[in-house]
Amino acid sequence: MKHKLTVLVAISAALTLAGCSQTTQSNTQSSQSSQSKTSKVAKNSSDNSNTSTASSNTSTANSKNKDTYTKLSASKMDYKTTASAIAVYAAQKYGDTWEIAVNAAKQGNLGVAFRSKDATGITSDNDGYVYEVSGTGKSSNARYMLAGDGADKQVTIFVKQRNLGTTSLKDIVAYLNQKNDADLVKQLAEKTQLNVKLAGDEDTQKITNNSSASVIPSSLQGTWYTADTGNGNIDTLTVTDNKINDEAGFSMNVKAKTSGSSTSDGYMKQTTINGISFYSFTNMGQTPGQGSTYLAPHTEDGQSVIVSANSNGRTNAVYWKSEALAKKNSNKQFSDLKY
C-alpha cells in the first residue's frame, strides 16, 4: 500500500511540473508575440512619420516651385519683349485679331511693322508710329501706339481704327505676371521681328533716287555697339551717309527733303538739348518729337560715342566703337548726360 501511494505522488508531481512547463512556455510565447507586435507598431509608426515628413517636404517644395515663376520687369524690357508683352496682353484682354496674331506667331514669327497714322486711318493725339502686329506676315488690324518712356510708357491698343483703351506698360506687365505668362512673352520675343514689311501694306513704296544723296554727317557714320539693353545683350547701330539701321528696331532711309509718305523714309534736323547737339530723325509726314530718334556724336572717357536719347534729351543708350567697350560700360551712367 505504501508503495502505491509513493507512485501516485510521483505521477502527480510529474503532471504538475508538466503543467507548469506548458504555462511558462505559453507565457513566454505570448510575451514574445506581444513584443513583436509592439515592435511592428513602432516601426509602422516610424514609417508613417517618415512618409508624412517626406510628403510635407514634397508639398513645401511644390509650393515653393509655384512661387518661383519667371517674372517680367517693366523697367528692364527691350523693344522686342515690349512688343511681345503688348501682343500677349491684348490677345488675352481683347481677343479678336490680336488673338489670331499671337496664335499664328507661336508657329512662326511675331512681325511688327512701323506705320504712319495717315496710312492706317487712325486718328489720335499721339504723333508717334502706329505699330502693326502680325503672326502671318500679312497686314493686320492689330495695332498699338506708344507715348512716354520706361515703365510708365502709355500703350494705346487698337483693332483697325477702333481705340480699345490705353494702359501703362507696368500695368500690362503686372497683368501678365499675375497670369504667369512671362515665359510665353519671352518665347515670342525671341521670334519677334521689328520694322518688317507686311504683305498688303499699302504704305510700302520703293526707295527713290533721292536717297543716294549724302545726308547724315560723317561724325555719326559707322558701326556702333551698346550693352545698355537691360539684359546684357549687345545691340548694333549702323549709320551710313543716308541710312540708319538700329538692331533694336529702328530703320530709316534719310532724305534731304521733308516730303514723302513711306514709313521707311525720314528726314533729319539738328537741335540742341541740355547743351548737347542732337540730330533728330523723323518719319516723313511727322514733326520731330515723340516717335523720333535723337542721336548725338559725343565723347565719354576719351572715346568717341553716340548718345541716343528721347525728345526730352533723356539718354536711352550710349553706343561705342567696339563690343568690348560696350560691355565694359554696360548700363553705366555719365554725369554729363541726362537720365
- Which residues, 6 or more positions from 210, have their beta carbon under 8 angstroms from its beta carbon? 255, 256, 257
Whether residue 116 contacts residue 283, with contact meaning beta carbons closer than 8 Å, is answered with yes
**Among candidates 167, 173, 151, 171, which has minimal Cα distance to 71?**
173
CA distance 136 to 108: 8
Longest dimension (CA), the chain: 153
> What pLDDT shows up at residue 121?
81
> What pLDDT shows up at residue 177?
95
- Helix, coil or strand: residue 294: strand
> What pLDDT shows up at residue 248?
62
> What pLDDT shows up at residue 262?
61
Torsion over CA: 7, 8, 11, 17 (sign):
negative
Segment 121-179, tens digit of pLDDT? 888 877 778 899 999 998 888 999 998 888 998 999 999 888 999 999 999 999 999 99
CA distance 265 to 76: 30
Q: Which three cell numbers stand for residue 179?
A: 497670369
Residue numbers in the chain where pLDDT is lower than 50: 1-11, 13-56, 58-67, 202-212
- Helix, coil or strand: residue 1: coil
> What pLDDT shows up at residue 84?
95
Cell 551710313, residue?
Answer: 240
> What pLDDT shows up at residue 203?
44
pTM (2 d.p.): 0.46
326 vs 223, 255, 273, 296, 332, CA distance in Å? 12, 30, 24, 17, 10
Half-sphere exposure of 200 (CA within 13 A, CB side): 9
Annotate 203-240 with b (16+ C-beta within 10 A) or e (fewer).
bbeeeeeebeeebbeeebbeebbbbbbeeeeebebebb
